[in-house]
Amino acid sequence: MSTVASPTDARPRPRWRGLRPRRRIAIALAQARSAWRRSLRLRVLAVTTVVGIVALALVSAYLSDRVRDALYDQRVAEALADASSRTAQIQAQLDAATATTPAQVQSVAFEIVRAAQSPGSGAIGTMLRRSPSDTGISPIDFSVGSPVALSEDLRSAVQDSTTQQWQAVTVDTADGTGPGVVVGARVFPPEVGAYELYFVYSLIPEQSTLTLIQQTLALAAFALLGLLAAMALYLTRQVLGPVQQAARTAERLAAGHLDERMTEHGRDELALLGRSFNEMAESLQDQIERLAGLSRVQQQFVSDVSHELRTPLTTIRMASELLYDARGDFDATTRRSAELLHAQVDRFEALLADLLEISRFDAGAAVLDVEHLDVRTVVRRAVDLAAPLAERMGTSFVLEEPGQACRADLDPRRVERVLRNLLANAIEHAEGRPIEVVVAADDRAVAVSVVDHGVGMTARQTEQVFDRFWRGDPSRARTIGGTGLGLAISLEDARLHGGRLEAWGRPGVGASFRLTLPRRAGVVVTSSPGPLERTTADPEPTRVSTGPSPAALPELGETREVGP
């Protein structure tokens, strides 16, 4: 199964020349962290390798210690046994000697010790030392073979004990320097008192054996580690390969390539995963195509019905206008009916227009007529148009805008429609309190926030407020009309500009809607310069002149009140 390289694998590598060492290390660490987070295969291989290294190191260390201890203990036991046997043999020879003078005793002792150092004896050195407690006048101190320096602790132990004593030492031989053991015991030559007899044994052969075993263990550990890494790589390819293919296929499906499928091999669990994934993709494709077909039928139905209703609606409009104009000649009941008919025809016409607009958005036929304008001009025009309605509902607008121009590429008709919808929504729910309209801008975007301090919304309602025909309180009647599509159309208008329309609310505190638009057409908004969540206090309307004033600070923003 081949692996397709992802686009991220072709990232440009950083240029190392000219960078400081610390900067290079930081870049290398950042790349390593990124690779660690992005690659499951790398994590599996790394964890498997580290665990294998630790396990093999522990096992090798344990085996090496056991082998070393076994070799050492065995060699020491052999040395003690050999030294005990030779000490007894030398003592017996000394006891059987017929020497009577110190010189004769010294000669006999020398011959006996030299004979004990004969080839094949196992000891590489033999030493005979006079005991410090001996008060004899004829010392016999000599060595044969490879002597070593005797420590005071060992000599004291030998002098104070009637048994063998031994100590680990370092010996020098023709093969080099290495570990060894010196074994000491007391002997009693005739006529001269107590003496110390020491045998030196080399552990260099055992050390060589241990080194060979350790090297063999190291080679075996490296071989096992390589085999473990190869097995981990093979298993990760076998297991993660289908998972990676599933991820790539899912990305292709999400991108709209509904015919994309996984390749199926074998009959194991991974093959079952591939078959299940393909069955899921088939089901999703069928449902999406079915829903897309239903959506097209629905869009066409709404568009056709809306267009077909325009002709009879025009006739009804003409008839209602005639009845409305002649309502003065009717009795009270008929006059009221004519007024209601006129109002409902207006509402039906607005609903029909909104349905046509929604159908254009659904069909992807909506286009922008962009102009480079000052957003403050569009905001003022929308506020002026909504001012009579605000006055009738007993509220007013508080307009806060910056002193400098806030120019952006926008469709004035659509932006003004968004603002009218937001202002009308705020008027309906403000409960007579002033409504804040805040304009803000930065280098990338402009924002308009409409804030009321009325009934407010819950967090769940803010998520549903842009749904079509949604009402926060179904029992609450619309006091200023509306079709239930205004905020949905406003959201689509904002998206068409590459902007955002966001809502915030808190029950009993109020609600805030923020429209954010990019300054340049074709740029998608990522942040907003204007506020969304506002304070809980009711704003105090402030009326200032629209012209410059010596006491004014335009750079801090101007404020004007529209309405009563």
pLDDT(339) > 50: yes
User: Which tokens go with 429?
Assistant: 């729910």
Phi, then psi, of 326 in degrees rounded to 5: -100, 15
Q: Estimate to the nearest angstrom the gap between the alpha carbon of 18 and the chain centroid.
A: 31
Whether the CB-CB separation of 155 and 123 falls below 8 Å is answered with no
Range name among 13-27, 195-209, 258-272 with the lowest pLDDT average = 13-27
Read off the pLDDT of each residue in 559-563 and give the average, rounded to a whole number: 36
Top-level CATH class of 367-545+552-562?
Answer: alpha beta
Rounded Cα distance between 440 and 423, Å, is 17
Spatial separation of the C-alpha atoms in residues 403 and 177, rounded to whole Å: 92
Which comes out higher in pLDDT, residue 232 or 516? 516
d(CA 140, CA 133): 14
25-34, 357-366, 393-402, 505-514: which range is least confident on average? 357-366
Average pLDDT value for the chain: 79
Q: Where are the alpha helices (DSSP H) in 364-449?
A: 375-392, 412-429
- At 437 the pLDDT is 92
Q: Is the dihedral of CA 326, 328, 331, 333 positive or negative?
A: positive
End-to-end CA separation in angstroms for the chain: 75
All structural domains of the chain with their residue ranges = 99-205, 270-362, 367-545+552-562
CA–CA gap between residue 121 and residue 309 (Å, rounded):
123
CA 537 to chain centre: 41
User: Is pLDDT larger for residue 128 or for residue 16?
Assistant: 128
Read off the amino acid at residue 155: R
Per-residue pLDDT, 343:
80
Q: How far is residue 379 from each of residues 260, 396, 400, measured CA to CA in Å?
A: 48, 15, 10
| Residues 392-415, mean pLDDT to the nearest whole number | 90
pLDDT tens, position by position, 228-254: 888 888 888 877 778 888 888 888 888
Asked whether residue 151 carries a pLDDT value surpassing 90, the answer given is no
Which token pair is 492?
């689509």
Residue 18 is predicted with a pLDDT of 56
Alpha carbons 269 and 443: distance in angstroms, whole number: 55
Lowest model confidence (mean pLDDT) among 93-107, 320-334, 531-545: 531-545
Spatial contact of 465 and 458, defined as CB atoms under 8 Å apart: no
Task: Using the structure block, give the residue that is written with the tokens 């790398």.
Answer: 42
Distance (Å, rounded) from C-alpha 513 to C-alpha 420?
12
Q: Which of 162-171, 337-346, 382-391 shows the lowest per-residue confidence on average (mean pLDDT)?
A: 337-346
In this prediction, residue 558 carries a pLDDT of: 37
| Burial of 118 from C-beta contacts in 10 A (0-12 / 13-18 / 19+) | exposed
The one-letter code for the residue type at 508 is: G
pTM of the model: 0.47
Residue of higher predicted confidence among 479 and 564: 479
The sign one gets for the Cα dihedral 411, 415, 418, 420 is negative
- Secondary-structure class of domain 99-205 per CATH: alpha beta
pLDDT of residue 549: 31
Question: Average pLDDT in the 255-276 region?
Answer: 81
The pLDDT value given to residue 563: 36
State how far the Cα of 146 lies from the Cα of 124, in Å rounded to an integer.
6
Top mean pLDDT of 81-95, 331-345, 410-424 is at 410-424
The pLDDT score that the predictor gives to residue 4 is 38
What integer pLDDT is reported at residue 408 of this predicted model?
92
* 178 beta partners: 171
CA separation for the pair 302, 18 (Å, rounded): 65
Name the residue with tokens 């050390």. Answer: 207
Q: What is the mean pLDDT of residues 516-531?
A: 85
Q: Which residues are bridge partners to 505 per DSSP?
A: 511
How confident is the model over 8-58, as pLDDT tens digits?
A: 444 445 455 556 777 778 887 888 788 777 777 788 888 888 888 898 889
In the chain, the amino acid numbered 32 is: A
Element (H, E) at 65: helix 40-96
277: enclosing H helix or E strand: helix 269-325
pLDDT of residue 422: 92
Q: What secondary structure does DSSP assign to 320-356, as a single string? A: HHHHHHTGGGS-HHHHHHHHHHHHHHHHHHHHHHHHH
Domain 270-362, CATH 1.10.287.130 — does that match?
yes
